């Protein structure tokens, strides 16, 4: 009887441990917690989605994915923050530009200033800007 109880106790601990491992949505670097997010690049008829991206900001997410996937990225630093000029050899033009959205809402600050939270969904869309 003691062996059965011990077996069930160990089984429960194992299941809880595995479940908790899958529930860890962040990574801790020093004192800073970095959320895991999903990043999608939408370029005309092409959509690429990357899951479990560790990123503190919208720009961090983009830079992580473009570096890991060897996608060309051109940016320019301004006083207000980093401006994305080109992703994957698609430059910003008069009639098309790269705009970011977090959880479906367009960005209102520079990409490096927009902080993320665990579970956020980030999209970079190559689209006609509306003014």
State what percent of residues in the chain have pLDDT above 70. 75
Q: What is the pLDDT of residue 32?
A: 63
Give the chain's domains with CATH numbers. 26-127 (2.170.130.30)
- Average pLDDT (123-129) is 94
DSSP the chain: -HHHHHHHHHHHHHHHHHHHHHH--EEEETTEEEEEEEEEEEETTEEEEEEEEE-SBHHHHHHHHHHHTT--EEEEEETTEEEEEEETTEE--SS-EEEEEETTEE-SS-TTT-B--TT-EEEEEEE----
Q: What is the pLDDT of residue 12?
A: 52
pLDDT tens digits, one per residue of 66-108 = 999 999 999 999 999 999 999 999 999 999 999 999 999 999 9
- Average pLDDT (42-69) is 94
């Amino acid at each position: 009887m003691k062996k059965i109880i011990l077996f069930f106790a160990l089984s429960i601990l194992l299941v809880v441990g595995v479940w908790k491992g899958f529930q860890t949505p962040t990574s801790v670097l020093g004192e800073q917690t970095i959320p895991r997010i999903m990043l999608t690049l939408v370029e005309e008829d092409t959509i690429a989605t990357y899951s479990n991206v560790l990123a503190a900001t919208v720009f961090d997410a983009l830079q992580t994915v473009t570096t890991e996937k060897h996608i060309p990225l051109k940016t320019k630093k301004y006083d207000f923050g980093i401006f994305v000029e080109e992703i994957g050899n698609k430059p910003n033009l008069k009639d098309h530009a790269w705009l970011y959205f977090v959880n479906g809402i367009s960005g209102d600050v520079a990409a490096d200033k927009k902080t993320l939270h665990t579970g956020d969904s980030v999209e970079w869309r190559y689209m006609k800007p509306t003014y």
